[in-house]
Structure 1
């Protein structure tokens, strides 16, 4: 029996909260390379509690600051820690990832740090699976600017985690989460369509509706901003999804057995 583990390192939406890192999740299968999924501000510090930053592969859903901008700090760790990393870590992300992270890491404004000494970079291709860390990762383009990819992660014995990343409602989200054991879904705000920009984020109502349409087995809400009522988002999701629903928290661990 091979278990796939999801560890929540950070889950605060848009910005960090008090004692809460932005988006970051560790995916692990025994005997395989750990995979860090998103790396927002504060995530590197939380990662150190459970894994060696020199040993992880990295996958990014998109290039908004709250999902990727602790990677420059990881570059420092991998280059200059007393035991530097050996070899390059896989880094998958949207097109433009090396430029985005390199610009943030550069010492001089306008320069771009060459991150390829540390990372072997690859662009996501919508619908094209990647094998990494003993798992199969399927990227699907979501309804969110800039280019954003939700990720469907299948474990070695068929366990499925679907990660919405950031998205508005779309058919691709339903396909991504179809039958998932855990649907890790953003719910950035409460449901007030007249006051919310379209094609950007989900409410608790919409997250629950997506889980119902997808036939997900459970719904794990994430990416709730510090200024949004967690209780209200949770109540909304429970009103539109009959299965188990919870709000994730930093340090939470989900073990998915076959």
Structure 2
């Protein structure tokens, strides 16, 4: 089947805490009533068409506690354990680390190693967009937008168990992940360190573009690297440049 590339987006609940002030920097916690937890996540495998969502109300445990994300984390752990590469917007700084923190709190071990693709990092390293938020990049590239929502009221509704809020959150999550995949495909040829997808192929498969696996490539000149010269290629499908054998 080749590489198992997982597109992932999570939504978390806010910390419930007490404070002496609503103004920064005085607004520090006096004590914490409830830590953050994962409300839901949406995901899509690159080789599949469907975007799926997993929310706390999907599990029997939700009837006993609306804030217990252990079963949800179990599904996340399984997906991460299966993935070769996980793609998320701001995933390296937020999504992956936040999931890791909830996994260890809930008693799960470390998933098997995987690589990451962070579309936020690609956007910031190769471009100077007015905004590097996923919603705005989708707008700039005409790939779609996030679903408008009521902001904090939506998250509060989900935390409090409002079913309409959960319905909206599911649609919001699905659109986020669908948009993530479309933005990824537009940005991937600009990624400075995109994982080499050829390494996940069977040995008998024809080697193609390391970014998208396409064999629709064209040799275009010579690339000089330190002491050696290499044939240079460009993918006619995704636009990536890569090098082949020594000259």
The TM-score, its normalising length taken from structure 1, stands at: 0.29
Quick check: which has more Rg, 1 or 2? 2
Larger relative contact order, structure 1 or 2 (CA cutoff 8 Å, min sep 6): 1
TM-score (norm 2): 0.30
